[in-house]
Structure 1
Amino acid sequence: MDLVALADFNLVARHGGFGKAARAGGRPKATLSRRVAELELALDLRLFERGARNLKLTEEGRALHERTAALLTELDETAATIASGAEKPRGRLRISAPLLLSQTAMGKIAAGFALKYPDVRLEITTEDRAVDMIEEGYDLVIRVNPDPDESLVGRAFLHDRLVVVASPDFPRAAADRPVPGVVRGFSNPQTWNITTSEGHLTISIEPILALSSIIMVRDAVRAGVGAARLPISLVSHDIADGTLLHWGDIDGSDITLWALYPSRRLLSARVSAFLDFLKQAFPNGTPDELAAYIGR
């Protein structure tokens, strides 16, 4: 396959037209059109639907763009790095991270990484939704218990679990009465199955507060309004100093944080450096390590 033609195709696909691509890439419009036509002929595929005023990727064109754009970028970066003799990662690194990790640890992680790799321009976006890494231009996505995705590979770097906690002054759970609960959203189950030092217990919950942030839930529980399910890493310090009581562990509530990236052979130096930095921050990936990293 002609890599120059493939690069020209991706330039046109990225900018949505031959004219815009020609201006952005400093390439003649006629040359781009010819290269794309040659690529379509070589592949025996139509990559663009050409209207009178619009240019739109076909399904095959979109698939080719998604699978080759990042790879070509990495090839260019690898060649430039080798040519310059540079060893340090450099360039833009875009990461999507979940809300709770961003609120508690990502600021410190980002600062440490920036100090170690000053030539990398790190950008972190906070969101819990599923993102399209290729379409939205992310290099790395951090997610909690992600669904399997054949287009992505990843590394598990942190583990956590949910526990039920409440203020020391709050009445302990009993099987014969519902417990006022602080929940995240309204989709939480009405019962919590927990394991205690005395065995298994099912707690009936009467939600009295529904909050959109886990940090808000923790703060409300600290104020003594009800019991809540929270990650042990977020409340281990409160449990240790008696601010909160640990009622038990939620059954089957193992939490794993994954760092995900597109499945391809070449992994950019920036992504590799960030993955190594996460490993150094959490060498064993335990809840205690995360709690210590977060601090009070």
Structure 2
Amino acid sequence: MDNDLDLTALRVFHSVVRAGSFSAAARDLGAPRSTVAKRVADLEATLGVRLVERTTRSMRVTTEGEVLASRAERLLAEASDIRRRLSDAGQAPRGHLRIGVPELFEQITMGRLAPWFRRKYPEITLELVTSRHPGDLIEAELDAIIAFGPLPESNLVARRLVRGSMTTVAAPDLPGLSELRHPRDLLRMPLIDVPQNWIRQWAFVRGDEEEVLRIDPVLTFGSMLTARDAAVEGGGVAKIPTILARPEIAAGRLTEVLPEWRGPAKDLFVVFPSARSVTTRLRAFLDVLQESVDNAPASGERI
């Protein structure tokens, strides 16, 4: 068996001891409890000692666990400092980056951004992994994750890239559009939905007003890109991210429906383990990503 100390597992163990339970550590790390438990078990197997005695109701750190916990913070800080110093040693950022991204964001943004990033930093290789949850930072051993908010509470560091919103759209010649005055009028229209957690409702806000509709869509998809295309083809009214709607509206293939009523904002964040974990190559990627978001063509300040 490989007896090298797994720093990711050590970081998880340290969080468990600090938080006082596996469940609390999972919340702090933004990871599934099963992942936290497995990392600690793997560390115990590597070291050949029991670090934590656990029952269904309680947890107790063993003597061996207390010895390791007392050294863990310094070990982790030193490892982070070594990694950062090695990363900063070259004249230009270099090395491999592994970034988690939501599937939709990857499809509409990263195909253009990644080559731009590589042209600017040719000594960095970039690997994108589809990810939906900040907890994947631990499970997939990622440098950072791009995630839509709201984010769960944790000890991870999150930087907001941009505020987002949803735009309601339809093909310009869809019958009945001229009669729409209020979100409730949409219930008379054919609706295209991409349900979140299979909740069949649309929320709208206008100033201090809020309207939540329980909808009965005629078309239901698992992809916002598919919903956009169906709306372009006249399939009905869709509610899609503004970043997807903009090009089609500009080209005249879609029109905005009830523009004064907006879907609740959904911010986009980049999440990483800690401020100390930001290497020069990750910092370079974050700078290019922020520049790309800031310079995206906009109608207003939404993405």
What is the TM-score of this pair, normalised by structure 2? Answer: 0.67
CA separation of 1:74 and 1:240: change in aligned 2, threshold 3 A: same
TM superposition shift of 1:279? 2.3
TM superposition shift of 1:200? 8.0
Question: 1:25 aligns to what?
Answer: none
CA separation of 1:63 and 1:239: change in aligned 2, threshold 3 A: farther
Question: What is the alpha-carbon distance in structure 1 between the residues aligned to residue 201 and residue 302 of structure 2?
Answer: 28
Question: 1:36 aligns to what?
Answer: none
2:131 maps to a residue whose letter is E
**Residues 1:103 and 2:107 aligned together:** yes
Question: What is the alpha-carbon distance in structure 2 between the residues aligned to residue 237 and residue 246 of structure 1?
Answer: 12
Q: Which moved more, 1:276-285 or 1:235-244?
A: 276-285
TM superposition shift of 1:160? 2.2
- Residue 96 of structure 1 contacts residue 124 of structure 1 at CA under 8 Å; is this kept in 2? yes
Q: Name which of 279, 287, 292 aligns with 1:281.
A: 292
Where structure 1 has 5 or more consecutive residues not aligned to the other structure, the ranges are: 1-8, 17-46
Question: What is the alpha-carbon distance in structure 1 between the residues aligned to residue 71 and residue 217 of structure 2?
Answer: 48
Q: Secondary structure of the residue that 2:151 maps to in structure 1? A: coil
Question: What is the alpha-carbon distance in structure 2 between the residues aligned to residue 238 and residue 14 of structure 1?
Answer: 47
Question: 1:76 aligns to what?
Answer: 82
Question: 2:14 aligns to what?
Answer: none
TM superposition shift of 1:240? 2.7
Q: Secondary structure of the residue that 2:198 maps to in structure 1? A: coil
TM superposition shift of 1:92? 1.5
- Residue 160 of structure 1 contacts residue 255 of structure 1 at CA under 8 Å; is this kept in 2? yes
1:127 maps to a residue whose letter is S
2:278 maps to a residue whose letter is L
For 1:220-231, list aligned pairs within 5 A: 220-231=230-241
Once the two structures are superposed, what CA deviation does each residue of 1:87-135 show, in whole Å capped at 9, x if it has no partner? 2111121100011110001121111111211221211112324433133
Once the two structures are superposed, what CA deviation does each residue of 1:20-44 show, in whole Å capped at 9, x if it has no partner? xxxxxxxxxxxxxxxxxxxxxxxxx
Q: Name which of 4, 25, 36 aligns with 1:11.
A: 4
- Residue 157 of structure 2 contacts residue 274 of structure 2 at CA under 8 Å; is this kept in 1? yes
CA separation of 1:203 and 1:247: change in aligned 2, threshold 3 A: farther
**Residues 1:58 and 2:26 aligned together:** no
1:58 maps to a residue whose letter is L
Q: Which moved more, 1:273-282 or 1:223-232?
A: 273-282
CA separation of 1:169 and 1:147: change in aligned 2, threshold 3 A: same
Q: Secondary structure of the residue that 1:248 maps to in structure 2? A: coil
Question: What is the alpha-carbon distance in structure 1 between the residues aligned to residue 8 and residue 143 of structure 2?
Answer: 19
For 1:86-125, list aligned pairs within 5 A: 86-125=90-129
Q: Secondary structure of the residue that 1:282 maps to in structure 2? A: helix
2:138 maps to a residue whose letter is I
Question: 1:253 aligns to what?
Answer: 264
Question: What is the alpha-carbon distance in structure 1 between the residues aligned to residue 72 and residue 218 of structure 2?
Answer: 46
Q: Secondary structure of the residue that 1:137 maps to in structure 2? A: coil
Question: What is the alpha-carbon distance in structure 2 between the residues aligned to residue 128 and residue 121 of structure 1?
Answer: 22
Question: 1:127 aligns to what?
Answer: 131
Q: Which moved more, 1:73-82 or 1:102-111?
A: 73-82
Q: Give 1 or 2 for the bigger CA radius of gyration.
A: 1
Q: Secondary structure of the residue that 1:220 maps to in structure 2? A: helix
- Residue 84 of structure 2 contacts residue 277 of structure 2 at CA under 8 Å; is this kept in 1? no
Q: Name which of 166, 182, 189 aligns with 2:192.
A: 182
Where structure 2 has 5 or more consecutive residues not aligned to the other structure, the ranges are: 10-41, 53-60
**Residues 1:159 and 2:152 aligned together:** no
Question: What is the alpha-carbon distance in structure 2 between the residues aligned to residue 57 and residue 287 of structure 1?
Answer: 56
Question: 1:272 aligns to what?
Answer: 283
Question: What is the alpha-carbon distance in structure 2 between the residues aligned to residue 155 and residue 266 of structure 1?
Answer: 14
Identical residues among aligned pairs (%): 27
- Residue 74 of structure 1 contacts residue 268 of structure 1 at CA under 8 Å; is this kept in 2? no
Which protein has the bigger strand share?
1
Q: Secondary structure of the residue that 1:151 maps to in structure 2? A: coil
CA separation of 1:252 and 1:202: change in aligned 2, threshold 3 A: closer
CA separation of 1:156 and 1:244: change in aligned 2, threshold 3 A: same
CA separation of 1:103 and 1:50: change in aligned 2, threshold 3 A: closer
Q: Secondary structure of the residue that 2:126 maps to in structure 1? A: strand
